[in-house]
Amino acid sequence: MTHKHSAELDFWIRHWDRCIRHHGDWTPAFWNGFDDTTPELSESEYKQARRDLAVKQLREVERMAAKPEGYLDRKTVVEIGPGPVGMLEVCDAAVKVAIEPLADAYREHGLLLPEARGTVYLCKGIEDCGLISNMADIVVASNCLDHVDDLEVALREIRRILRPGGELFLNVEVDHAPTVCEPIVIREKDLGAMFREYDCTHFARVGEDRLWARAVYRLR
């Protein structure tokens, strides 16, 4: 396992999952620590909190893309780097594929939702996903493109697996300093060139200390 992947797994186990077990939720406010003296949830409470958080993530993705609730239903959806959150597991897409290099590690640590059996996990990066061309109605790339190993190859693969008229839901931090887990720096000014083969149907800039670009790109 690479240093980057070890650091990412450490976040999910030591911070994200522990916070949910003690508080039943995860929000950015917990980045600076949380009270782990609070008693842990029961196993049934924890499972419900996990499912609630997955539904919350699904609704957030729909809002970020300015789409109505249920927009992913009956579609072929590919999510890149979802972590163990479980958004695909709680949506009603016809085909659900998660491209996640750490999927097996999440399974070993009990982080995947029980409903994960309804989602196909590929234990690899988007750069070598192996999916057939033109198969996806929607590709969800939320907080992942700055985590990849090779951005140019990742963008080429997204373009390849999307069908003509398919949509990319993008949520990415822009103009930040590189980190171990986020080695790729994406400039907001470069987004137009990066997605020149798409029509941008929605764009929003959010954040203050950290700037995020949220967009929907439809492949021509």
Q: For 64-112, how does the pLDDT look when each residue is reduced to its tens digit (9 = 90+)?
A: 999 999 999 999 999 999 999 999 999 999 999 999 999 999 999 999 9
- Per mean pLDDT, which range of 31-35, 155-159, 178-182, 213-217 is the poorest? 31-35
The predicted structure's pLDDT at residue 116: 65
Q: SS3 string of the chain?
A: CCHHHHHHHHHHHHHHHHHHHHHCCCCHHHHHCCCCCCCCCCHHHHHHHHHHHHHHHHHHHHHHCCCCCCCCCCCEEEEECCCCCCCHHHCCCCEEEEECCCHHHHHHCCCCCHHHHHCEEECCCHHHCCCCCCCEEEEEEECCHHHCCCHHHHHHHHHHHEEEEEEEEEEEEECCCCCCCCCCCCCHHHHHHHCCCEEEEEEEEECCCCEEEEEEEEEC
pTM of the model: 0.94
Domain 3-219, classified CATH 3.90.1570.10, yes or no: no
Across the range 2-14, mean pLDDT stands at: 95
pLDDT in tens, 36-58: 778 899 999 999 999 999 999 99
- Encode pLDDT of 112-156 as tens digits: 987 766 899 999 999 999 999 999 999 999 999 999 999 999 999
Domain ranges of the chain: 3-219
pLDDT over threshold 80, residue 11 = yes
